[in-house]
Structure 1
Amino acid sequence: MNHRFEIRVYYEDTDLAGIVYYANYLKFIERARTEWVRGLGIDQSRLKSEQDIVFAVRRVEAEYLTPARFDDLLTVETRLEELRGARIAIFQTVRREDAACFEARVELVALSGAGRPQRLPQALRTALTRA
């Protein structure tokens, strides 16, 4: 199942050519991941304060397919690909209507406050696999 998150391209998101600046796609998919997790009932602030677990991006493989432009309405689709130990792999696509503008495979790792990998708690694993 895909989670969908809509975002409008503002002037501040574009470069001199009027197209979305490449790094802003990473911001778009970050916002979508946050809303995906929130929609699953996972409170990241509580996860940090109660279980000392935070998420960090370990790896991103990105492909820029077609430019998005000022005032476009985009949809970010997020799909869980794999869950292992302390790692979460997801696939995200940024679309304008039916055209894919950007795709990324993102690998996240659960870390303790000290920066050490933490195995995902069972309740978190269950919530993520329900998606």
Structure 2
Amino acid sequence: MTPHRFPLTVYYEDTDMAGVVYYANYLRYIERARSEIVEQMGLDQNAMRAQGIVFVVSRVEADYVSAARMGDRLEVVTTHQAASPVRWTFDQEVQRDGAVIFRAHVVAVTMTTGGKPVRLPAEIRATLKK
């Protein structure tokens, strides 16, 4: 599958007292990229929620390689696949000028709004098989 690319710029609000991106903001960056993927697939998460189905991150493994600073132009590069009928896995890197500064492996699952695991919707499974 062709990697998805999501550009972003580091703003002052993203940084900590040392002037580098606050560690938790990398999780926000990769979440935004995943949300873009879902939208580009034509999936409406609000409609899914109205039907009682939501995506939930069940696992994140992250490595902080290098610091980003205010004004840096970054790119989140994501590859993803359906790992099972319930799990959707993502390998994500935040890059600056092509160099990896953060990487994560993310596992998302579909659940009912009541917290019960359910299969990925058929349209997602079909799209991911392409």
Q: Give structure 1 stretches of 5+ with no counterpart.
A: none
**Retained in 2: the 8 A contact 1:19–1:67?**
yes
**Retained in 2: the 8 A contact 1:81–1:91?**
no
Give TM-score scaled by structure 1 length: 0.94
- Aligned-residue sequence identity (percent) comes to 47
**Match of 1:33?**
34
**Match of 2:50?**
49
Question: Deviation string for 1:5-44 (max 9, x for gaps)?
Answer: 1111000101111110100000000001000110111111
C-alpha distance in 1 between matches for 2:68 and 2:5: 17
**Retained in 2: the 8 A contact 1:62–1:103?**
yes
Deviation at 1:83, TM superposition (A): 2.3
**Match of 2:122?**
122
**Retained in 1: the 8 A contact 2:80–2:89?**
yes
Give TM-score scaled by structure 2 length: 0.94
Deviation at 1:121, TM superposition (A): 2.0
**Match of 2:110?**
110
Task: Please provide the CA RMSD for this pair.
Answer: 1.1
Q: Give structure 2 stretches of 5+ with no counterpart.
A: none
C-alpha distance in 2 between matches for 1:46 and 1:78: 24
C-alpha distance in 2 between matches for 1:17 and 1:39: 36
Deviation at 1:82, TM superposition (A): 4.1
